Structure formats: structure tokens, C-alpha cells
Amino acid sequence: MKISIIGTGYVGLVTGVCLATRGHQVICVDKQEDIVKRINEAQPTIYEPGLDELLEGAVSKRNLLATTSLMDAVKCTEVTIVAVGTPYSEGKIDLSQIKQSVREIGDILKNKDKYHVVCIKSTVVPTTTDTVVKNILEEASGKKAGRFGLAMNPEFLREGKAVEDFMNPDRIVIGAYDKKSFNTVKRIYKDQFKAPIIRVNLRTAEMIKYASNGLLAALISYSNEVASICEETGGIDVKEVLEGVTLDKRFSPRVGDLLINPEMTTYLMAGCGFGGSCFPKDVKALVSFADNRGYSAEMLKSILKINETQPLRLVSRLETAVGGLQGKKVAVLGVAFKPDTDDVRESPALIIIKELLNKMATVVVVDPIAVENADKVIPANASSLCYSSDYKYALQDADAAILATSWPEFSAIPAQEFVMLMKNPVLVDGRRVYDKQAMEAAEVEYIGVGLAEFLP
């Protein structure tokens, strides 16, 4: 099929490259000429494992090209996928990019005789596609829905594994205005992807996305609340607790002698909290949407509150361990919200860094690829904050260290290196990746999330 995609950010570029790899003719649209130029030269504009190779193949086979001309893209394609940003701002999601995009599409459809489907892939709250999007398209095109198609096709991509997730989806959800819209979008996936294709209405498709992310966020915050109770009690290791929970056959069924460990159980793991471009934004947006509908989503609000305070608990425990943080040098290992991405949006590490600075510590932040993005959010300061890609530099003469992102190179740091490099080897394991016994045997003071000594 011939497909145009508006937006070349995380979702748009991954979608375009993967669809082109599966044989579709894809045109990516972006208003920035430098981004268009880079894509046409097979240079990814985002960091995502595996994307560079697929992009190079798609461009070389002429299955994918980028342009600044939305008109040319819409006129020569059958479906336009809208994948622009919907950031959370001023208590709700910002639909300005969605509105502008669909208005421009509608203007073009006014003079296009062939049937064309507009498919929203951006994450939007229920009622957006069948009211806001539909109304703008009808007004701009002078046509009623039905003469053009309308669909909502949410994405379920994990940063760091987005290519894998797109090429091997769990399910394909297509919310459709009518049967013709559904059948057209279904053709994109039918013969190219082995996954259940679920047809629902537009609002249900929008809600599935929010419900999915809300559930995963809930598992993380639940794990961190249990961890906090374990810490306040003492003598309980939350890792052992949650392992005992997830061995329930309703989480991890047995098939014969084989124990199945679904990936869902990895979200039942205590740590610094969740971050990134999806979970915080989407849970906040769903809370706001519910409030506007007259319902107070108390559980979702608690998920956010726990997540906001979790990184602060780590700093508080460190402060107690070292007897105050003023003037102390603290190494923060990792600033990306998770490994295999340079995304620092809503990263728990940023909360940790700000709190350390508030307590007058000197902070050295280390990350393999995300320091440049972090510096844009919290600029380096010669006297109190610096960034590095070398963990040995960060640990040198440090009074303490906090693991905030479980990059493999950080998880593999031997206990002896903490002892040799640091002035005072105190380690807060915010991701529970280190061996407590090995650390303590090397005389590293180990503080783990959800783990505390026996208390009376």
C-alpha cells in the first residue's frame, strides 16, 4: 500500500521504517528540512536499537522517502497516519499538533477524488477522533465522514524495543468509523504481521491504549509501595516477596515441566519508578480526562503520587547513611529513564539529581548516551553538577553512588571497583541489580530498594 505518515518522531519514524521494511511504499512528512534530509540519507533522527539498519534498507530499496510537502504525500497515498506529539500540558493533553495536521489534511482532501483514510496513531483521550478530528476533517474538506475514512490505530511500542514490538506485535487494534475504514487499515497489516487484529470503535481504541499503560504503571507503583513497606518493617527483601507473588500460576503458568515467565511480571519489580514519554503523560491525561467527565480516578492519582515520591526515598535513605549530603560528591549512574534509549523525559534520575542539588551535594551524572539530553533539562554547573560518559570518572573520590538506570555496563561494575575508586563506598541500588552479599563482602555499604536491616 501507499502510506503517508505525519510526524517523524519516535512513533512516526519507527512506524514508517517498519512498514517500508514490510514492503509498503511509505512517505514520511516533516516540516524541518534537516530532518527530511537526514532520513533520505538513511540517518535515524532518534536512537533506537535496530532502526538504523532497517532505515538504510528501506531507503536503498526506495520503499521509504521523506518530504516537507504534505500535499504531495497525501495526494499520492491511500492512508495518512498521524503520529505527531500529544504532550501533557496545563492539566490536559495538548492537541494542537493533531488539530493542525488534520486541518491541513482536510484542505488537501477537498480536492482529492479518491477515497482516503486518515488514521490517528498519536495517543489521544477517548472522544478525540470521533469528535475533534472528525469535525475538523469535515469542515476543512467539505466532505462528510464516509466519503473519507477515519480510523484510530494505537501504538504499543516500548522504547529500546520498538522495532521488535512493531515487527512482532501482540495485537493490532483498529478503531474504525465504518467498515470501509477498517478494511482499508486492515490491509496494512493483514498479510504482513502475524497478530490478532481487533476491530473496535474509535473511542474504544483510544481507551485501550490508556488502559494498557495505566495497568503497567500500576504494577510498578504497587511494587514500589510494597518495597516501602518492606523498608519500614526491616528484615524483608521485596525481591523475594515479589518473586513469591509472581510464581502464582495465574502470573506464571506451567506447561508440563516448563515454567512460563510472562514479561508482564517484569513490571512487578521495585525500583526508582517509571518515566519516559508514555506512562507519566498517559496516566496524567487519563486522570484529567476522568475529572472532566465528573469522575475522580483515585487509584490512578495514587499511582502518580507513589511514582513522584519513590526517587525521593532513595535520596533520603542515602542522606541518612552518609550523615547529610551538603558538600558530598554523589555519582548518579544513569539518567535515561531506562536502558537502550537516550530519552530522559520524566526520568526518575532527574528527580534524584534535583533533590541532591537541593541538598547541596556535588553531583556527577554518567550515562552512555543520554547526557546530552539531560544537559538540556538540567544544565551542567561548574560548581555542583557535571555529566560524563565514563563511570570511572563519576565514581572517582565519590562519597556515594546511586544506580538510577540499569545499563548493562553499570550492572557489571565489580564490587572492588566501587571500593578502589570511591572515597566512601556507599551504594544505593535503585534497580536491585547488584549482589548484596558480594558488595558487603567487599565492604561496600549497600542500600537496596525494598530492603532494610531487621528493625525492632
Tell me: the pLDDT tens digits for 160-171? 999 999 999 999
Weakest mean pLDDT among 60-69, 247-256, 283-292, 435-444: 247-256
- In the numeric block, the cell 475504514 is attached to 181
Residue 234 dihedral angles phi and psi, to the nearest 5°: 85, 145
DSSP letter, residue 232: H
**What's the pLDDT at 453?**
85
**Opening angle at CA 430, ends 288 and 279, nearest 5:** 20
CB atoms within 10 A of CB 443: 11
Tell me: the pLDDT tens digits for 35-87? 999 999 999 999 999 999 999 999 999 999 999 999 999 999 999 999 999 99
Please name the helix (run of DSSP H) or strand (run of DSSP E) that holds residue 64, with its range, or none: strand 64-67
- pTM, rounded to two decimals: 0.94
Catalytic residues: 278
Tell me the residue ranges of DSSP E strands in 195-312.
197-200, 254-255, 258-259
**Averaged over 403-424, what is the pLDDT?**
97
Tell me: the pLDDT tens digits for 104-144? 999 999 999 999 999 999 999 999 999 999 999 999 999 99
* Measured distance CA(400)–CA(414) in Å, rounded: 16
**What's the pLDDT at 113?**
95
Q: Are 274 and 266 in contact (CB under 8 A)?
A: no
Tell me: the pLDDT tens digits for 183-237? 999 999 998 899 999 999 999 999 999 999 999 999 999 999 999 999 999 999 9
- Domains located in the chain, CATH noted: 2-200 (3.40.50.720), 215-448 (3.40.50.720)
Tell me: the pLDDT tens digits for 255-283? 999 999 888 999 999 999 999 989 999 99
Q: In this structure, is the dihedral angle defined by the CA atoms of residues 317, 320, 326 and 329, taken in order, positive or negative? A: negative
Is it the case that residue 429 has pLDDT exceeding 80? Answer: yes
* CA-closest candidate to residue 188, choices 23, 360, 335, 431: 23
Q: Is 121 helix (H, G, I), strand (E, B) or coil?
A: coil
Q: Are 401 and 333 in contact (CB under 8 A)?
A: yes
Q: What percent of the chain clears pLDDT 70, i.e. is strictly above it?
A: 100
**Averaged over 20-24, what is the pLDDT?**
96
* Measured distance CA(363)–CA(347) in Å, rounded: 16
Tell me: the pLDDT tens digits for 332-346? 999 999 999 999 999
**What's the pLDDT at 340?**
92
**What's the pLDDT at 193?**
92
Q: For the chain, what is the mean pLDDT?
A: 96
**Averaged over 178-182, what is the pLDDT?**
98
Give the confidence band of 456 by pLDDT, cuts at 50, 70, 90.
low
